[in-house]
Structure 1
Amino acid sequence: MFGISFSELLLVGLVALLVLGPERLPGAARTAGLWIGRLKRSFNAIKQEVERELGADEIRRQLHNEHILQMERDAQKLMEPLTGKPASPPTIATPGSDAPPPPAASSTDAPAAPTAPQTPAPSETPRNP
């Protein structure tokens, strides 16, 4: 994990033996092992909590998207009697989905826009000097 080799561990053990002595070294090693175990367990618990929160956020996001889609479907159903033709279902591309792009509107789908009537320009009358 930290890149400690066997020779480095042996050196640390030898220094600990000289500093603590043979009587206190087993107790110190046991205490160090307990602390390392506690740290590992707490880091694993934090990691699991973060993963659980990220999963919950993803579920909330999916539910929110489904709610929006349902609201759009309801709006389409309400608009259908007003327009006289069934509306196409909404296509919303979400990240990771392979939804095809919506079809392009052709010129036959929509009526031509009315043009404004052309009014003749006022004619200028020549002025006599």
Structure 2
Amino acid sequence: MFDIGFSEIVLIGVVALVVIGPERLPKVARTAGLLIGRMQRYMASVKADISQEIQLDELKRSGEAFKQSLSDTEQHISHEIHDTTQAITADYSHHETPVAETDTPAEIVPEQIQGELALDIPADTNTTTHKTHDHA
């Protein structure tokens, strides 16, 4: 704070001794020490308050940046989902083939897919499902 060396402190002490006198000098020095201590504590408190306000401001800014990033990400994902949905819908409507009324589901699904979709369902529902493997 102040750049006061030892020689300046000695000079102030000698002037105070001459001006105040040796009887009142200890009481004045004690009072001056108390005032300086209070001033230092007050300055430390002000510094801590300023530091806390700076940290709070930085936290608010990073929170706002996070919210903005989250909003941007949400919009990006929403656009991606919308675009993907439109692409799938367009692709589906483009490749859609009409099904004749006489066709049965077994005729519509190819035989290879029918084999993959076939499930072994046991007659007794209390037993666990066992897969049967053909070793032939």
Asked whether 1:4 is paired with 2:4, we answer yes
CA distance in 1, matches of 2:69, 2:53: 24
Larger RCO of the pair (alpha carbons < 8 Å, separation 6+) = 1
Higher helix share: 2
Query: Which letter maps to 2:15?
Result: V
Residue of structure 1 in register with 2:82 after alignment:
82
TM normalised by structure 2 equals 0.57
Map of 2:45 onto structure 1: 45
Q: After superposition, what is the alpha-carbon deviation per residue over 1:53-90, rounded to whole angstroms, capped at 9, x for unaligned?
A: 111111111111111111112212221233238xxxxx
The structure with the largest alpha-carbon Rg is 2
* Whole-Å separation in 1 of the counterparts to 2:62 and 2:8: 51
Residue ranges of structure 1 left out of the alignment (5+ in a row): 86-129
Change (3 A) 1:72 1:26: same
Task: Please give the TM-score of this superposition, normalised by the length of structure 1.
Answer: 0.60
Q: Specify the SS of the correspondent of 2:23.
A: helix
Aligned partner of 1:125 in structure 2 is none
- Any stretches of 5+ residues in structure 2 without a counterpart? 86-136
Distance apart, 1:6 and its partner CA? 2.2
Q: What is the percent sequence identity of the aligned residues?
A: 40
Structure 1 8/82 Cα, relative in aligned 2: closer, same or farther at 3 Å?
closer
- Counterpart code for 1:31: T
